[in-house]
Amino acid sequence: MKLPNDGRAHDSEPKALRVQSARRLIPDFAVEALLRAVPLCLPLAVRWVSQQEQKILRAGVALDESQLTDARLMGVAHPERVRLLRVDQVPLPANRLLRWAAQRTRLLSSDTAGMALRYGIFIRSDCWQTRRLIAHECVHTAQYERLGGIGQFLGRYLRECLEVGYPSGPLEQEAFLKSQQIGR
């Protein structure tokens, strides 16, 4: 999830002003090329997500009681497995193809406030206590669970980001709308 520079969601601004769809920023030929590359990228992305999740599970902190309650409200079946890792910046993949695809689709940038990698969640330091952000990422954790794991979630999420555009895809919109139920 990306937040404005101050790290807070601004309810007074129309959603269209807060987020910009990556689909409108990528020429059609590039989207088609990225869609063709998904079968090549997906195994690399699954490996990267799995490695990052393990890193977070080893070094991260468990959800506190209020976060556990929020995670359950967001649909997480196993909130006790979730760990948060505070980072200065959500890391980019080392693999050049993955890094290029993540940047090109605007899935990852210096503005990325948080990222759920199944049960491991990166939270940028300046957003560490942002309740709605953590809830948003927990919705993605619930989606990983519901869809059957990392490969199934990533395949669908990446296609939605390319075909519809980030953040307009159904999975991202579900996370956005569900997390709006949570106070700051």
CA distance 8 to 128: 11
d(Cα 117, Cα 159) in Å, to the nearest integer? 17
Q: What is the pLDDT of residues 155-179, one digit of tens each?
A: 999 888 888 888 899 999 999 999 9
The CA distance from 34 to 103, in Å, is 12
Asked whether residue 149 is domain-assigned, the answer is yes
Q: For residue 137, is it within any domain?
A: yes
Q: Could you tell me if residue 118 is inside a domain?
A: yes
pLDDT in tens, 112-150: 999 999 999 999 999 999 999 999 999 999 999 999 999
- What integer pLDDT is reported at residue 165 of this predicted model? 81
pLDDT(60) > 60: yes
The pTM score is 0.82
Residue 1 covered by a domain: no
| Structural contact between residues 91 and 122, judged by C-beta atoms closer than 8 angstroms | yes
d(CA 134, CA 109): 18
Asked if residue 116 is part of any domain, the answer here is yes
d(C-alpha 66, C-alpha 3), whole Å: 22
> pLDDT tens digits, residue range 86-102?
999 999 999 998 888 78
117 belongs to a structural domain: yes
- Residue 167 preceded by cis peptide, ω within 30: yes
Is 7 part of a structural domain of the chain? no
Residue 29: band (very low, low, confident or very high) from pLDDT cuts 50, 70, 90? low
Residue 3 falls within a domain, yes or no? no
Task: Look at residue 75 and tell me whether its pLDDT is greater than 70.
Answer: yes
Q: Which of 94, 67, 72, 66 is nearest to 83 (CA)?
A: 67
Provide the residue range defining the domain that includes 146: 26-179
Query: Which structure tokens are listed for 98?
Result: 């993955």
**What percent of the chain lies above the pLDDT cut of 90?**
61
> DSSP alpha helices (H): ranges in the chain?
15-18, 22-25, 28-59, 65-73, 96-104, 131-147, 150-160, 170-179
Strand arrangement, sheet containing 114-117: 61-62, 83-87, 120-124, 114-117
Residues in the chain: 184
Query: How many Cβ atoms are within 10 Å of 101's Cβ, its own excluded?
Result: 24
User: Could you tell me which residue, 27 or 164, shows the higher pLDDT?
Assistant: 164
Q: How many domains does the chain have?
A: 1
Q: pLDDT band for position 40 (50/70/90)?
A: confident
